[in-house]
Amino acid sequence: MTSELAKNLQNLDAFWSAMAHSPELKNEQQKEQKSEPLKIHTNWPNKAWQADFGLDYSEKAHPIPAGKSSVTILKPAEHSTKQVKMSLRAMFLPLDKAHFNGSNQVEVLTQPDDLPSWAQACSNAFGYSIAPEALLPLLTNPNATLFSYMVNGTIAGTAIAFQSNDVMGVHQVGVDPNFRGQGIAKTLMHHLVDFAKRQDTRLMTLQASKAGLPLYQQMGFSLLAEVYHLEPSQAI
């Protein structure tokens, strides 16, 4: 594993760990092998994962609850009990080579009362429901910053920056369907790079969907690995 991939995954682990999750679960076999414990979110983002994003836990000892996706960098075997629900591309950008301007249309969310409208805008962008209370831990976390792209008082785009050491991770970059095609995602990303450089971070990381890949590659991001979101295989 390259250092860039390790930093990408460490940031993702730190970001997800900042939100409500179960006590870390570990069975006797894992203790003997010194493998990473399993973490499971209690609500959104509804993930189950290990800090190294492996898959060496026992589902008999710790069954994954319904509605939770297991996340790993290890592609499941053809006859696995898991199937790929979604695949994202881990990417990175050295910030010393990136020069973009911020935007006065991008605002930082600071008030709990604004969480419902932000959560709704992000839900609209991604097509799944985000409960505002799931975001509360981020609002009080000094490493997390929630951004809104505003159009006439309406949140048209969302993004979260999460800092871990010298890495700025980018998460939940989305645009409400009613505002797509206006370059909002690009403006948000440029603003995030400018923000990250002001925080003296050296590397920006993210996990890109297929739709976001062209923008990130245009900005200079490089591919690292696939990140697989798994669900139980459907019995035939």
Under the banding of pLDDT at 50, 70 and 90, the label for residue 187 is very high
pLDDT digits (tens, 9 = 90+) for 64-101: 888 899 999 998 776 577 889 999 999 999 999 899 99
The CATH number assigned to the domain holding 122 equals: 3.40.630.30
Q: Give the model's pLDDT for residue 236.
A: 41
The proportion of the chain whose per-residue pLDDT surpasses 70, expressed as a percent, equals 90
Model confidence at 29: pLDDT above 60? no
With bands split at pLDDT 50, 70 and 90, how would you rate the model's confidence at 26? low
Tell me the mean pLDDT in the region 13-40: 75
Residue 82 sits in the same domain as residue 98: no
Which pLDDT belongs to residue 100? 98
What is the rounded distance in angstroms from the CA atom of residue 32 to the CA atom of residue 63?
Answer: 20
Q: Mark whether 143 and 73 lie in a shared domain.
A: no
Asked if residue 100 and residue 7 are part of one domain, the reply reads no
84 and 110: one domain?
no
- Residues 47 and 135 occupy one common structural domain: no
C-alpha distances (whole Å) from 137 to each of 21, 142, 151 are 11, 10, 26
Are residues 126 and 76 part of one domain? no
Q: Rounded mean pLDDT of 155-168?
A: 99
Q: Are residues 136 and 59 in the same domain?
A: no
DSSP 103-130: -TTEEEE--GGGHHHHHHHHHHHHTS--
Looking at the structure, tell me whether residues 97 and 72 fall in a common domain. no
If we measure between CA atoms, which residue out of 21, 2, 14, 15 comes closest to residue 172?
15
Beta-ladder partners of 159: 147
At 227 the pLDDT is 97
Using CA atoms in the order 58, 73, 145, 124, what is the torsion angle rounded to 10 degrees?
A: -90
Whole domain around residue 57: which residue ranges? Answer: 3-89+228-232
Q: Are residues 78 and 115 in the same domain?
A: no
**Above 70 in pLDDT, residue 35?**
no
Query: Which pTM does this prediction carry?
Result: 0.91
Cite the beta strand spans of 95-195 per DSSP E.
106-109, 144-151, 154-164, 167-175
Residues 97 and 68 in one domain: no
| Claim to verify: residue 55 and residue 105 sit in the same structural domain | no
Q: What angle do CA 104, 107, 113 make, to 5 degrees?
A: 150
Domain count, the chain: 2
Q: What is the pLDDT of residue 78?
A: 62
State whether 45 and 118 are in the same domain: no
